[in-house]
Amino acid sequence: MKLPAVACAWWLTALPVMATEPDGLTLPPGFHATVVTENLGNQTRHMAFRDASRLYISTEQQEKDAPNAGLIALHLDAHHHVDRIEHFSSIDNGTAIAIYKGALYTASADTLYRIPLSSNTLVPRAQPETVVVNVPGRSALAFDDANGLYLAVRGSGNMCVPKNTPRDAQAQGLTPCPDLANQAGVWRFNVSKLNQTFSDGEHFATGIRDTNALAWSPDEKALYVVNYGRDRAEKTWPKLISAEDGEHVADEMFRVTQGTNMGWPYTYFDSVKHVRLLQPEYGGNGKTVVSDTQYAVPVVAFPAHVAPMNLTFYRGRQFPVRYRGGAFIAFHGAFGCDPPGFDGGYEVMFVPMDKFGLAGSAELFAGGFAGPGHEDKCGDRAAYRPVDVAVGPDGALYVADSQKGRIWRIAYAGI
């Protein structure tokens, strides 16, 4: 099914004067940041609020038996500062985490779990229940208004080429790409059922290279995803893709309906030319426009390598009216200064949305996380890297960092 044409909004509309905040953050006038907690560790990932005083964090450990493996429970005092930290469970290596109808949902690398929340304790007493097994990779998670549970699963690699192909080899792409059968898309499940296998899910949408960012818009009653575009096209195919064009291989935000095809691995979207192009592995030359209408038009096309880690829709009442219903996106930023000179990401962007789902121009909402200079926006050199955004019950926006495990609360105090 073709995604209905949605007006595209393009990077970047800057806001007026920015105010200096803790850690060098820059925010729009009237907004101010405070540090909620710090030193949670560099494997801090996504957040889920149970209520105003209880917040849960997922982790993605790189080493077995890491000291901070599992989930993290935070207790917030009346001033929105963490006064208690508990580590629990052994579920990690995933990013998905959410609170839905009295239960905590969280994922490992291959399984989605549900932990019932039935008491006033900070750490759940119930044992995890298995919801979906045999998930073929790290997943992003969302729920709709009709008992639907969605898992977005990445593809197996940057390109769809034969296994063991060298990283920058000019290999022909596989047709059809085998990933598209069981990965690289969105699957829908019945949230009421336990012990489902991944094959029980409905194949809802396709064409995702990689994503951590999946969210349901309650106002619009629609599902959205922000996709990582492919990397290193200009290095693999230097005679076809210039370095400049490589910076325009978009990270895309899509409105996802049943049958949406987001284009990977056969195509990519150029964020400056505003067209979908054929991938070089499939005969493209950096100029070959794809006219096939099966591919979705992105709501917003961001530049390459900004690394969208998560998004959330604002339903609070604390921020000015113009923010309500819009999307906040955490951009992790490119790792390792690749390509050289690149310094996109390392910020929180805002995409205004009207009640019909029409997007306005993307705006820088919170910047300065990496540091003041160009050289700071280079992976591990960055002071902080936004990894998640969540709207708290108090209507403030909470931002998590993956470098040290710091969390900020951004609130509106008025101008």
For 83, the token pair is 């006064």
Residue in 307, 239, 248 with CA at minimum distance from that of residue 11: 248
Backbone phi, then psi, for 193, in 5-degree steps?
-100, 140
- pLDDT computed for residue 332 by the predictor: 96
Token pair 């160009």 is at which residue? 374
Summarize pLDDT for 37-88 with one digit per residue, the tens: 999 999 999 999 999 999 999 999 766 666 667 999 999 999 999 999 999 9
pTM comes to 0.93
Instruction: Work out the mean pLDDT of the chain and round it to a whole number.
Output: 92
Q: In the structure encoding, which two tokens stand for residue 102, read together?
A: 């009295």
Tell whether 400 is covered by a domain: yes
Higher pLDDT, 177 or 9: 177
Residue 238 CB partners (closer than 8 Å, separation 6+): none
Q: Is residue 2 part of a domain?
A: no
- Residue 381 within any structural domain of the chain: yes
Longest dimension (CA), the chain: 62
Give me the mean pLDDT over the 300-304 stretch: 95
Instruction: Let me know if residue 183 belongs to a domain.
Output: yes
Cβ pair 274, 177 in contact under 8 A? no
Contacts of 229 (CB under 8 A, 6+ apart): 209, 249, 250, 251, 252, 268, 269, 304
**Could you tell me if residue 4 is inside a domain?**
no
Cα→Cα distances 392→45, 233, 245, 395, Å: 16, 39, 39, 5
**pLDDT band at 373, cuts 50/70/90?**
confident
Q: In what order do the strands lie in the sheet with 112-116?
A: 97-100, 103-107, 112-116, 129-133, 196-197
Q: Count of domains in the chain? A: 1
Ramachandran region, residue 281 (left: φ > 0; alpha: ψ -120 to 50; beta: rest): alpha
What CATH number has the domain bearing residue 261? 2.120.10.30
Output 124-130 pairs: Cβ under 8 A, ≥24 positions apart.
124/88, 128/89, 128/91, 129/194, 130/194, 130/195
Provide the domain limits for residue 15: 9-412
pLDDT tens figures, 84-137: 999 999 999 888 999 999 999 999 999 999 999 988 899 999 999 999 999 999
Q: Is residue 173 assigned to a domain? A: yes
Indicate whether 1 belongs to any domain: no
Give the per-residue pLDDT at 86: 96
